[in-house]
A and B are shown apart, each in its own frame.
Chain A
Amino acid sequence: MDYALLILTISLLAAAQIVQKQASRQFLGAASLPRALRALLCSKSFWLAAVLLALALSTWLATLSLIEVSTAYPLLGLSFVLTALLSRWLLHEEINLRRWAGIGLISAGAAMMLVA
């Protein structure tokens, strides 16, 4: 149950990034910035992203009440890997070896910082 919450948090964070990318399409080909901002605030994807982020914060706080921060936080670094996988599958982004290597290093660094 406790690790399920952690996995849920990681998934929510990754999903929020994908949905924010969808929301950002409001800016493509928009006539002006104020108009695009208005369109963004009226878009479903913007509010879905906000809800996903709020849910991620809630599940994260709940996770912290069940698992120690030093164990939970490094695993949160997995959100970088999951986000990259999702952006490849759902948004068809091309991720070269170098980018994968960087993402791996960042996750490893996040783990090292918080295992202290």
Chain B
Amino acid sequence: MEIISRRTAACFVAVSIILTSCAQLLFRYVMQHFHILEDLSYADLSTLIEAINATDGWMLALGIVLYASSMLFWILALSRLDVSLAYPLLSASYVIVYVAAVCLPPLHETASLSKLLGTLVMAFGIVIVSLGNTQDRASVNSARSGGPARS
């Protein structure tokens, strides 16, 4: 008897993706206050830490907590799923972060055609990977009745 079912594992992949995306967006929000992201180097890292104010520090800490929890959900999910299935799905966070960064007013990044095309190609790849899983057909079929992520 396993601790979690494959279906729960698939949900945990989704949870992990959402946690990672939120952490990434928090990091972006904090980092946009410093216009040094383009040439961030080791030397700048200590200056960066000194320059962080209380609110940014709080958000940065929250981001780190979200990242750590994402890792726990990730490992739980991996206990039931192939790495070669789950890891490609993690790329969904690129899509989420891109859409959120363009849509959310505090981040307000500019959209571009090549980024949009890249996002669509990636999303297509994610769909193909998640549908191309031939193992454990029985649980796939049982999860088919409305599961958020089939695997």
Binding site for B on A (CB under 8 A): 17-18, 20-21, 23-30, 32-33, 36-37, 40, 46, 49-50, 53, 61-62, 64-65, 69, 80, 83-84, 86-88, 91, 93-96, 98-99, 101-116
Contact = CB atoms under 8 A, between A and B. Distances in A.
Nearest to A18: B83
B71 interface: yes
B42 A99 contact: no
Contact of A62 (B41, B91, B115, B123): B41
B121 A109 contact: yes
B18 to A, nearest CB: 18
Nearest to B135: A94
Contact of A105 (B75, B85, B124): B124
Contacts, number: 157
A104 B86 CA distance: 15
A115 B126 CA distance: 20
Given A61-B41, A109-B91, 10 more contacts: A53-B71, A64-B41, A87-B82, A99-B129, A101-B125, A105-B121, A109-B125, A110-B91, A110-B122, A114-B118
Nearest to B82: A93
